[in-house]
Structure 1
């Protein structure tokens, strides 16, 4: 099984792919340098595998590497994930 994460800027989302099949997404709305992570969704076949958390981490890591945005975790899953990962607090805005 191969897992790949992609930043689809045209669709304003971070994507998870497993064995070349779409597995999930974290969508965002970008305004004034703040990306509101507003929705996380994982295909039923890939739920309970931890892929959602790895996908959110990919999104945060991508934002950190670019150094251009901050993140507002609007999605309940992203907000919960953020509380469990204090090492990303520097990216978070209320």
Structure 2
């Protein structure tokens, strides 16, 4: 099977220049900055659930808000592209959703 190029997630321009791409073949969202991969968010789908399992940002790029940009854009994509229930198995994703009430509906939709 040939891997397709990750497709851009529809995102508003960010002041940081960050771009989030969805790599459906590898079940992950990839965050790039000036063409360099600096972060990722892994997920897997089981039935009607989309489990976010791991979020990572390059240690040299931490504390710049990049993980938040990554998760926000990944969740926006999940909201518009699927009707799956988001399961935040990753502690960072769970905390991010707790801090952003407008995304909490993703935890219960489809149930």
Runs of 4+ in 1 over 3 A off after TM superposition: none
1:81 aligns with 2:78: no
Q: How many residues align?
A: 93
Q: Give, in angstroms, the shift of residue 68 of structure 1.
A: 2.5
Q: Give, in angstroms, the shift of residue 2 of structure 1.
A: 2.5
Higher strand share: 1
What does residue 79 of structure 2 align with?
A: 64
TM-score (norm 1): 0.93
Superposition RMSD on alpha carbons, in Å? 1.1
SS in 2 for 1:68: coil
Question: Structure 1 stretches of 5 or more lacking a match?
Answer: none
Q: Give, in angstroms, the shift of residue 67 of structure 1.
A: 3.2
Q: Give, in angstroms, the shift of residue 15 of structure 1.
A: 0.9
Q: Give, in angstroms, the shift of residue 66 of structure 1.
A: 1.1
What does residue 91 of structure 1 align with?
A: 106
Question: Structure 2 stretches of 5 or more lacking a match?
Answer: 1-15
